[in-house]
Amino acid sequence: MIDFSRFEPAKELELKEEIKKVGNIQSFKKGELLIREGQYLKVLPIVLKGSIRVFQTNEEREILLYYVLPQETCIMSLAACLFNNESPSFAITEEDTDVLFIPSSFIPIWQKKYTSWNNFILKAYRNRYDELLDSFNNVVFKKIDQRVITYLNEYASNHNTNKVPLSHQALAYELGTTRVVISRILKNFETNGKVILHRGYVELKK
């Protein structure tokens, strides 16, 4: 049985019932592409379990925008739904992920009808705005080696592990730089006793 109650921000009983009627929950394996750049969206994705990586590409390079975690949605998708625009980004699952899809036509209607839904939408915009501003500040004001160690530490903290399962190329994509730069920085970190390099992952020294 599909459990729509996993969408916790919905507080009103009537809203919960409407979600049951029009919503659709789908499960995806790790690494599945959910949204392509240039795609028109008719549904809003909301993560119930797992996570989604949202990124853009330019001249064969990737830049991470943000992650969508449980009980969150993607503001790029939200904007595309509301204004009938093409998606400006890609979205791919980072792990096995359950997604609740809401038809785009209900987004503005529910904003007027239900306080909890309106709060969910406004919070999504505010949180992503703060994240993107933080990312912008990191790119502009922090040296690349500082950004690398910050990323590694934040990943370790968020996933409760000292092993970051990313190749040098994948880490370069996350930070919008090149593999050569990442390899040089990580080798420096290893020499200074900050990390231990393995094939396919980086181990942070405790």
Look up residue 197 and give its amino acid.
Answer: L
pLDDT of residue 84: 92
Q: Which residue has the higher pLDDT, 134 or 195?
A: 195
**End-to-end Cα, the chain, rounded Å:** 44
| pLDDT value at residue 1 | 59
Mapping DSSP to helix (H, G, I), strand (E, B) and coil, where does residue 145 land? helix
Q: What band does 75 get if pLDDT is binned at 50, 70 and 90?
A: very high
Nearest to residue 134, comparing CAs of 56, 63, 66, 52? 66
C-alpha to C-alpha distance for 163 and 176, rounded to whole angstroms: 21
Q: How confident is the model at residue 112 (pLDDT cuts 50, 70, 90)?
A: very high
Bridge partners (DSSP) listed for residue 163: 203
Question: CA-CA distance, 160 to 45, in Å (whole number)?
Answer: 26
pLDDT, one tens digit per residue, over 28-48 is: 999 999 999 999 999 999 999
pLDDT in tens, 160-178: 889 998 889 888 888 878 8
pLDDT at 194: 92
Q: What local confidence, expressed as pLDDT, does residue 160 receive?
A: 86
Joined together, the tokens standing for residue 126 give: 């505010």
As a whole number of angstroms, the distance between CA 93 and CA 97 comes to 7
Identify the CA nearest to 78 among candidates 107, 114, 110.
107
Q: DSSP for 105-117?
A: THHHHHHHH-HHH
Closest CA to 94 of 70, 125, 62, 123: 70
pLDDT given for residue 61 in this prediction = 74
- Average model confidence (pLDDT) for the chain? 90
